[in-house]
Amino acid sequence: MHETALMENLIRIAEKAIKNHPVKQVTAIRLSVGKLANVMIDALEFAYDAYPKSDPFKGAKLIICETPILAKCETCGKEYPVKQFPFVCPVCQSRYYTILQGDDIYIESLDYET
Amino acid sequence: MENLKIEADIFSLNNQAAQKNRDTFQQHGVFVINIMGSPGAGKTTLLEHILPQLKQSHRIAVIEGDLATENDACRIRQTGVPAVQINTGGGCHLDATMIAAQFSKLHPDKLDLLIIENVGNLVCPISFDLGEDLRMVILSIPEGEDKPLKYPSAILGTDAVVLTKTDLAPFVDVNPKTMANHSMTIHPKVTVLYAGKEGNVYNAAGVIAYIRDKMEAKKQSNKV
């Protein structure tokens, strides 16, 4: 349950990003959350709503898009989507893989009014 | 309405701090291990048993993380190894800046090995890079055979799994081999080690040998 710490980071990164832009009001923050990122989306949304936000961020909506897990087989090179553990290559059945996508939480962009 | 691309990892602030730690550790020639696991898995007990041997060959310090009390740091100091305690209040994990704040207090120039015992939690600490060289996840046998399957990201995010309290296996109906196999199902490259009492002696020889190997391997790769 470190969703509050994540929200603090989210706001700090967003504050830094808007510094050199004429932002009057942020209306939405777009967040992409990997399925393997160790967070619950409900808890993230709750933490976001509860987090005290300063002026340009007050009332900004949090739009979360869940990213599926994508793995690359280390044996045959096949890239394949993963739904659940254990990860097995659909082509060669190898269990050796690297995660390409779905293990991070990414702030994509924000919408704002000038 | 305007749109501003940010494209930043939400962990980027911690990751930047972790990279700074990594550079600092490298400068001082300190090998760093991040030990994670559930509350009660036997993390501190394992340290109490490996430190007396490791300290014969290496200069060691320990950072202990807990919500409250200095109990674990006190236990570590009993072994003759210096320890500092971080109390997170309610925080479920240690982050890279907390480690940076403690590291300077530990006489970095007189140190070969820093062991960080994270807050007891099998979920959150995994996401926070501290700048460590090696990660170890401690699972105790009584936690159940399927623990690795139930906490896959912990297994996936570690270099080694240490199965502790092996002596309790017959009493809790858990087969340590099955637990090891489950770990390798999730993470085929993970190293599985064992620790527990054999008679009256706590045996963690495999863990000590593994740590020494990894430290030596890093030393060799630094020379190249």
Please give the pLDDT value at position A86. Answer: 85
Q: Which residues from A are below 8 Å from B126, CB to CB?
A: 38
**Distance from C-alpha of A21 to C-alpha of A14, rounded to nearest angstrom:** 11
Domain assignment of residue A19, yes or no: yes
Buried b (16+ CB within 10 A) or exposed e, B142-158: bbbbebbbebbbbbbbb
Buried b (16+ CB within 10 A) or exposed e, A12-32: ebbeebbeeeebeebbbbbbb
Is pLDDT at A38 greater than 90 in this prediction?
no
C-alpha of B82 from chain center: 17
Segments forming the whole domain that contains residue A40: 3-68+101-113
Interchain CB distance below 8 Å, A31 and B10 = yes
**Distance from C-alpha of B75 to C-alpha of B83, rounded to nearest angstrom:** 9
Domain assignment of residue A83, yes or no: no
Judge residue B209's burial from the number of C-beta atoms within 10 Å of its C-beta, 0-12 exposed, 13-18 middle, 19 or more buried: exposed
Is pLDDT at B179 greater than 80 in this prediction?
yes
Domain assignment of residue A107, yes or no: yes
Average pLDDT, chain B: 96
Tens digits of residue pLDDT in B77-112: 999 999 999 999 989 999 999 999 999 999 999 999
Tens digits of residue pLDDT in A89-113: 999 999 999 999 999 999 999 999 9
**Contacts by B27-31 with C-beta closer than 8 Å and gap 24+?**
B28/B108, B28/B109, B28/B111, B29/B112, B30/B108, B30/B111, B30/B112, B30/B113, B30/B114, B31/B112, B31/B113, B31/B114, B31/B133, B31/B134, B31/B214, B31/B215, B31/B218
Q: State the angle between helix axes of B12-28 and B96-103 in degrees (0 to 180), rounded to the nearest 10.
A: 30
Domain assignment of residue A93, yes or no: no
**Total domains, chain A:** 1
Q: Give contacts of A 40-99 with B, CB under 8 A.
A: 85-86, 95-96
Give the closest of B4, B7, B126 to A38, CB-based: B126
Q: Is B67 an 8 Å CB contact of chain A?
A: no
Tens digits of residue pLDDT in A41-88: 999 999 999 999 989 999 999 999 999 999 999 999 999 999 888 899
Q: What is the ipTM, given to two decimal places?
A: 0.86
Number of neighbouring beta carbons within 10 Å of residue A49? 10
Is pLDDT at B163 greater than 70 in this prediction?
yes
Please give the pLDDT value at position A1. Answer: 62
Domain assignment of residue A74, yes or no: no
Domain CATH code at residue A107: 3.30.2320.50
pTM of the model: 0.93
Range B12-217 has CATH code 3.40.50.300: yes
Domain assignment of residue A41, yes or no: yes
A to B CB pairs, distance under 8 Å: 89
Domain assignment of residue A92, yes or no: no
**Distance from C-alpha of A38 to C-alpha of B154, rounded to nearest angstrom:** 9
Q: Which residues from B are below 8 Å from A6, CB to CB?
A: 10
Domain assignment of residue A27, yes or no: yes
Give the closest of A1, A96, A107 to B124, CB-based: A1
